[in-house]
Each structure stands twice: as C-alpha cells, then as structure tokens.
Homo-oligomer: A and B are copies of this chain.
Amino acid sequence: MLKFSRPVVKNCKQLLLFKRCITNSPIIKTTSYRLLSNYKSSDTPLFNGIGAIRSYANTVKFTSEVYPDIHRNDIYKKLNSDDLEYFKSILSKQEIMYVAIENDLQELDLFNEDWMKKYKGQSRLVLKPKSVEKISLILNYCNEEKLAIVPQGGNTDLVGASVPVFDEIILSLNNLNQIRQFDPVSGILKCDAGVILENADNYLREHDHIFPLDLGAKGSCHVGGVCATNAGGLRLLRYGSLHGSVLGLEVVMPNGDIVSSMHSLRKDNTGYDLKQLFIGAEGTLGIITGVSILTQPKPQAINVSFLAVKNYEAVQKVFVKAKKELAEILSAFEFMDQRSIQLTKKHIEKDTSFPLEDEYPFYILIETSGSNKAHDDSKLETFLESAMESEIVIDGTIAQDETELQNLWKWREMIPESSQCQGGVYKYDVSLPLKDLYSLVEVVNKKLADADLLGEAPKPVIAAVGYGHVGDGNLHLNVATRCYSKEVERALEPFVYEYVSSKHGSISAEHGLGFQKKNYISYTKNEQEIKMMKDLKKHYDPNGIMNPYKFI
C-alpha cells in the first residue's frame, strides 16, 4: 500500500516521489473487482443470507411487550382455519409456512425478527407465493377479510418496517426471484421483485453492467425491497436516486389489482408517473412484484484512497475539492470519525491492519471509477498532491491492488457491525445541511455523558459514533450500547429528531420510517404533507391492511 503523510512530505522531491508511485501503480483488473462487491455498503453491515451474523444478539423481546402502549387494532380479523384452508387451496406446500397456536413460534423467528433484533412480531403464517397472480389472489382475499399483511423482502431493513408488530400475515417475496429480461444496448433490466440485489448485480456484471445501487445487505436484500424502501446506498452520489433510475414497476394493489408499467423505455411522458408512489412507500400502498430499471455500464477502473484530516471543516473542504476536481469519476465520498474507527478496531479481524500509522480525528474514503485507469490515476494524483500541499489532508494511503482496495473499504464497511456487536445499537440515519452534519454526533455524546449513560461498563452506552455519505448530506449516527434500554432510548428520542428538525434536516435520509419513526414524521414533514399522505394511504388502502402500525 502506498502511504503518504503530510508531516513527512517536507519538500517537492518527496511529493514527486509520491507522484511517481501513484502514476506507476498497477491497474486494478476489473475481472477481480467483482470479488469486492460484498465490501461496498451504505449503512447496513455485510451479510449474506439471513441470519449470517445474527448470533451475537440477545433473545429478542416481542415488540408488543417493549411498546405496551401500542395495541393490536381490532379492525383486523384474527386468522382462522377457513383462511388457512383458502391459502392452502391456492398455494403449494413450498409456498406456506404455518405454526399452529399450540406450537412454538421459533420456526418463524427469521421472518418475525428484524435484523437489529430490536423488533419482533408474532405472526404464525408466512406466505411465499411463486407468482404475481397468486399475490393478487392473496391480497384480494385479505382485503375482503380484513386480514393485515406485512410484505417482506430480504428483511434487512433498519426501522422495523419489514416484520409484523402483532399477528400480521407475512407475505414473503422470496419465491418470486427470476430475471425477466436484460437489454445490453439500453442497459434496461427487468426482474422479479424477489431477486436478491447481489444476484442481479452479478448477472449484470456478466453483461458489462452494474446495478445503480449498492449496499451492505446486498447478499440478502431484494430488488423489490430496495425500491419499496427507496434505499440510497453508496452509488447514489454517482447514479442518483431510484426515483430517477426505476423505469417501471409491477405492483399488486391492496384489492388485488395488478398495475404494471414494466416497459423497456428510458423515457415515457404519458400521464402521471404512478410508479413513483410506490418507491419508498414501504409496502403500505401495495406490493411491488416486478421492477424495470436503468442499469449502468461497468466501470473499467477503480481507485480507492483513505485519508486523514484534522477536523470536520477539513472534511467539507476535501469534499468540495473532490466534487470539482474528480468530478465525473467520483463514485464515493464517505467519512468516519475517530470513535467509529476505534470501535471497529476492537471488532475487525486481527489480520486486517489499519491503513494509517497514527489515529486522527476524521477519516475520508474516496472512490473513483471511470473508463480509463491512467486518466483516473492522473486526476487523483493531482487532487491529492494539492490537498496535501495546502495541508487539508494530513495523512493518507491509496490502494495499490484489489486486496488493499478491499481492505480500505472494510474500515468503512465494518462500522455498522462494530457498533452493533456489543449488545445493541440505536441507529439514526439523518440528512442535515453539510455544515451541520457532524454537530449531531457531538451534541448526542454530550447529552449521554451529562445523563451519566456513557462510559465504561456498567454504563449502558459505549459510544455515539458518526460516519456516512458526505456527498449526500447523509449522516449515520450509531449509538453503540451494551444492551437496549428504555433510559437510553428516552435520552435519544425525541432529542435527536428535535435537533435534526431545528437544522431543517430529515429524520430519515435513507432508512425510511417503518415502526421506529412513524410517530416522529412531523419533525421533517409539515402538517399539509402529513395530511396528504394520510389521505393517499386511505385512498389506496381503505381497509388499512398493508403493513399496519407503521409509516404514516
């Protein structure tokens, strides 16, 4: 790995040496870049296959016990044997999982529990239909019978949106998982909603393309799920939001109607863009069953640099500079605070060496991707040279091969898991004006310290750490705890939301509302917007069967 550190680069000769090293760096072959796909994420830890790294969490309490003030709504019918008979009549054995009332629910834990092990429902029925038509029949029946439903993709969400609160039927998209069509000329992919994001991305890479979105949960999360939650992730900086790249959706409405706009056109300006309603609606207006999306050509060259700066002001300066000088090749700009890295050092595999010799207050990870390695190297070189010259960057390193590249990403990627692994984590995912982005971490640490909740055991909180997508004005605040505790929750909420609101930010930049933030929406949205949302929900789902107790 090529290291450079401002304090030791004292003259032009050394800068020149530094320059030469970059220029002569070997080309990172794109064939092997595919191996790295697992290591690029947003705020979700790395995991492939549900439950892969769930083992460190404690037994999860039922949501209804943790939040006793929330009650099951009696408008929903309780599942009976007739309902079960109906579902059995339209579905095969592989498409139903049912646990009788006299048996232990544990068999369905993977469907009832969320990834953070913070929320747990008590559903006894999981339906995994293999066709859109079957989903239509199910919804039509549930709507008539007023049976509540939770649509579930890869169950990797972080706000309790994809698990039941009480006994809602879980409708899993696991069995609807086929690539439908791909056109390498236009780059348009059509697939079932239940295709795992990584499978879609791997398929596309075989055709010299990539999915326009990437996140840590890619090994489990579904293409339909990322649309339903309007996931952000790393590639947003480069390829924009799903509202721009999704070209069509197939959706089953609460009454069973199938609405499809699954065309293969980049542009269609005939009427209201109805699909937009379902992007980010978290399954509260209907179930996404198919996605048509504009994918991107696979980059030919990737560079990753890991930098150290002395304060948050410098983070902003480097960002403005990168936006201007790296411009069209900038594909990620992530920052991490010292506490994030300290936590990660305790948790990361022993053989993953930290890329810098010293510790610094803030770190930045910059990724470039483009079509010409030499050009990209040259741009990055010029950029870093002047950043060091002007002393905004004080230390740093550039990956020289794919192993190093992977290693650098790991230090960003492992933060969520490192925050979670010692008992639990309170996760806040907020948008703030760039200048205020980091101040939230500071005020939260102060607040927790003042309340005597932060410090060595037995104090519940280990640290409040901050990191995230500077390029999108998106901070992830993770409050790492030794256990989930009402006292900590009360110290954090609504304090965090009030602070974000006072800075005109958003209480959810990319995670959505789900169960966790349902009651805090007014910190971001105004009265008129909330009124319109409630009206829209009532209009499309008058019986309220879709993902109740959440969102709005």
Contacts from A to B (Cβ < 8 Å) = 183, 185-187, 208, 229-230, 232, 236, 240-241, 243-245, 257-261, 263-274, 276-277, 279-281, 285, 297, 299-300, 316, 319-320, 323-329, 370-372, 375, 378-379, 431-435, 472-474, 504-513, 517, 521, 524-526, 528-530, 532-533, 536-537, 539, 551-552
Q: Tell me which of B183, B324, B371 contacts A379 (CB under 8 A).
A: B371
Answer whether A472 and B266 are a contact pair too, CB < 8 Å, given A261-B529, A528-B260: yes
User: Contacts of A378 on B, CB cut-off 8 Å?
Assistant: 372, 375
Nearest B residue (CB) for A471: B266
Do A272 and B474 touch across chains, with their CB atoms under 8 A apart? no
- Counting chain B CB atoms within 10 Å of each CB, which of A245, A316, A371 scores highest? A371
Do A185 and B316 touch across chains, with their CB atoms under 8 A apart? yes
Q: Tell me which of B187, B434, B530, B539 contacts A539 (CB under 8 A).
A: B539
A-B contact pairs, 22 of them (CB 8 A): A232-B269, A241-B244, A243-B273, A259-B528, A265-B509, A266-B474, A267-B474, A267-B510, A269-B280, A269-B512, A270-B512, A270-B524, A271-B529, A271-B530, A272-B277, A272-B281, A272-B536, A272-B552, A276-B277, A297-B324, A300-B327, A324-B371
Answer whether A370 and B473 are a contact pair too, CB < 8 Å, given A266-B431, A273-B279: no
Do B263 and A504 touch across chains, with their CB atoms under 8 A apart? yes
Do B325 and A521 touch across chains, with their CB atoms under 8 A apart? no
Whole-angstrom distance from the CB of A485 to the nearest CB of chain B? 26
Do A371 and B533 touch across chains, with their CB atoms under 8 A apart? no
Q: Tell me which of B183, B261, B521 contacts A271 (CB under 8 A).
A: B521
Whole-angstrom distance from the CB of A376 to the nearest CB of chain B? 9
User: Contacts of A511 on B, CB cut-off 8 Å?
Assistant: 269
User: Contacts of A552 on B, CB cut-off 8 Å?
Assistant: 271-272
Do B532 and A274 touch across chains, with their CB atoms under 8 A apart? yes
Q: How far is the CA of A529 from the CA of B260 in the complex (A)?
A: 7
Q: Which 9 A-B pairs have the closest CB atoms?
A: A244-B244, A276-B276, A327-B371, A268-B506, A375-B375, A267-B509, A265-B431, A240-B244, A328-B328
Q: Tell me which of B265, B327, B505, B526 contacts A265 (CB under 8 A).
A: B505
Do B274 and A280 touch across chains, with their CB atoms under 8 A apart? no
Whole-angstrom distance from the CB of A268 to the nearest CB of chain B? 4
Q: How far is the CA of A329 from the CA of B328 in the complex (A)?
A: 7
Do B433 and A264 touch across chains, with their CB atoms under 8 A apart? yes
Whole-angstrom distance from the CB of A434 to the nearest CB of chain B? 5
Whole-angstrom distance from the CB of A301 to the nearest CB of chain B? 10
Q: Tell me which of B261, B270, B504 contacts A507 (CB under 8 A).
A: B270
User: Contacts of A326 on B, CB cut-off 8 Å?
Assistant: 371
User: Contacts of A329 on B, CB cut-off 8 Å?
Assistant: 328
Nearest B residue (CB) for A433: B264
Nearest B residue (CB) for A241: B244
Nearest B residue (CB) for A268: B506
Q: Tell me which of B285, B371, B505 contacts A325 (CB under 8 A).
A: B371
Q: How far is the CA of A528 from the CA of B507 in the complex (A)?
A: 35
Q: How far is the CA of A200 from the CA of B232 in the complex (A)?
A: 28
Do B269 and A297 touch across chains, with their CB atoms under 8 A apart? no
User: Contacts of A375 on B, CB cut-off 8 Å?
Assistant: 372, 375, 378-379
Q: How far is the CA of A273 from the CA of B183 in the complex (A)?
A: 29
Whole-angstrom distance from the CB of A189 to the nearest CB of chain B? 14
User: Contacts of A323 on B, CB cut-off 8 Å?
Assistant: 187, 297
User: Contacts of A320 on B, CB cut-off 8 Å?
Assistant: 185
Whole-angstrom distance from the CB of A300 to the nearest CB of chain B? 8
User: Contacts of A240 on B, CB cut-off 8 Å?
Assistant: 240, 244-245
Whole-angstrom distance from the CB of A197 to the nearest CB of chain B? 17
Do B539 and A271 touch across chains, with their CB atoms under 8 A apart? no
Nearest B residue (CB) for A281: B272
Q: How far is the CA of A445 from the CA of B412 in the complex (A)?
A: 59
Whole-angstrom distance from the CB of A430 to the nearest CB of chain B? 9
Whole-angstrom distance from the CB of A96 to the nearest CB of chain B? 28
Q: How far is the CA of A378 from the CA of B434 in the complex (A)?
A: 36
Nearest B residue (CB) for A474: B267
User: Contacts of A371 on B, CB cut-off 8 Å?
Assistant: 324-328, 379
Nearest B residue (CB) for A530: B271
- Counting chain B CB atoms within 10 Å of each CB, which of A260, A269, A435, A504 scores highest? A269
Do B186 and A433 touch across chains, with their CB atoms under 8 A apart? yes
Nearest B residue (CB) for A237: B266
User: Contacts of A270 on B, CB cut-off 8 Å?
Assistant: 506-508, 512-513, 517, 521, 524-525
